[in-house]
Amino acid sequence: MALSSLRSLTRNAEVARARGIAVQLIAILDKPDQLTREIFESFALMHQDIELKIVLLGDLGYARNEAAVLASGKWICFLDADDIWSDSWIADAYAAAESEDGKREVVWHPEINVYFGTSPHIYLHRDMDDPRFDLSTLAYINPWTALAFVSTSFLRRTPYCGTDLVRGIGYEDWSWNIEVLNQGAVHKVVPGSTHAIRTKPVSLVSQTTAAGCIPRPTDFLRRMIGRRHHAFLQRAARDAVEETSYA
């Protein structure tokens, strides 16, 4: 799958560059085995615009943070080495991001996720500006995948946390998605975009679930419930005043 992912990466770069967008390609290899290293090094010989960086972090979230440190562009996006982007993902996400007025920080996601492999299914991302989106779902599911498009500066200010299976802390992308909201940013989708994501019998998600992990604790949901409760009390008080005035 690594070669398919790399081809998807270079196709996206070609489409984006054809639209006048400068693209920097960085491959972070975190504790790679010999075969993985050979595949990437061989591909990089044919595509010399790909920068290879070998790290010994042993953590997916920290590897993404390393990419943010190395990135020189205004925007950054991620592709795991067994997933595939739709060919114009970079260009379309860039256009969506640049169309924003800059009054809020936005993390962009594909609209459609096609999962293949062990557990094939389709998952649709919900845009936070969609009235059907329910923020409370964050308490029990992760509404957005990690293959996001965001400003490099925001990611540096809001880095991923690590996974600690021993202490029961995991789901680095779920934790980060919550922290995005904690920082006042929002999650949105790029209409018509698609990602293909491989599911495997053994993955970080399955290991995290088996270990009974939860996302890194935060007070975001507690504060959200508090705000909703306060709003409920205000509405109840207004309704009581109106009933009294009609009596």
Tell me the pLDDT tens digit for each residue of 48-105.
Answer: 999 999 999 999 999 999 999 999 999 999 999 989 999 999 999 999 999 998 889 9
| Number of neighbouring beta carbons within 10 Å of residue 197 | 19
One domain, residues 160 and 128? yes
Query: In angstroms, rounded to a whole number, what is the distance separating the alpha carbons of residues 13 and 239?
Result: 57
The parent domain of residue 173 ranges over 1-216
Each residue's pLDDT tens digit, 162-203: 776 656 655 688 889 999 999 999 999 999 999 999 987 655
pLDDT at 92: 98
CATH number at residue 79: 3.90.550.10
* 203 vs 30, higher pLDDT: 30
Q: What percent of the chain has pLDDT over 70?
A: 80
pLDDT in tens, 133-147: 998 888 888 899 999
- Structural domain total, the chain: 2
120 and 224 in a single domain? The answer is: no
224 and 211 in a common domain: no
**Residue 245 corresponds to which tokens in the numbers above?**
């005035």
What pLDDT was estimated at residue 5? 96
